[in-house]
Amino acid sequence: MPTSPAPSCAMAVIAPKISKCLDTLNEMMKMIEFAKSFNENQKSKYLDDCDFFLSCQPEFECINDPNLGVAFRSVEVQCKSAKFIIREFAECDKKLTNLNSTCSQTYNPFPEIKEKDVPSMLKEGRKDPCEKLFGESDCMIKEIREECGDKDVVKYRKMQMELAHSLRLCEFHKST
């Protein structure tokens, strides 16, 4: 069975796409500040930008920089999370927003993590337990179960654990 040829890593070949990929990433970073108020067109554009950016992986791999790999993984996880919230969890997310509970309004599974610390965590990871991954006393799981049902609890739990694991934000123990 023939295999596809490896992408050319000649700078003349990869530079135009990398330039477009970085422009797309820049647009994504500007958009993410306003993600909570996205309309349907903005959500769609953001997800299209994610898909395009993720198609850039072969070109970024040509550069062979471990820091670039870490940054790419961070964006990849952010895109996967956005796709989950926008496509798979949208109805439940609306219900939780309308509920306007203290739990969902104050939910932050990693309150002690500062944005500037994320790159080093992606490389080295954290040893802290994932004890607040689902909110204080697992309040997010309880609210999702009450508002949306067990199927959404399973999807949400899986996505959050994947996100925490991929970004190496905490360590799981048997009970998590």
Last residue of a domain, one of 71, 87, 103: 87
What's the mean pLDDT in 13-18? 90
**175 shares a domain with 103:** yes
In a domain, 77, yes or no: yes
- Find the domain containing 148 and state its range: 89-176
- How many angstroms separate the CA atoms of 74 and 118, rounded? 9
Query: Who wins on pLDDT, 65 or 120?
Result: 65
pLDDT (average), residues 50-76:
87
pLDDT band (50, 70, 90) for residue 5: very low
Is residue 127 pLDDT above 60, yes or no? yes
Interval 78-121: pLDDT, tens:
899 899 989 999 999 899 989 999 998 888 877 777 767 766 77
Q: Is pLDDT of 16 > 80? A: yes
CA–CA distances in Å: residue 75 to residues 9, 15, 16, 25, 161: 22, 20, 20, 9, 17
Please tell me whether residues 78 and 158 are part of one structural domain: no
Domain's final residue, options 87, 110, 132: 87
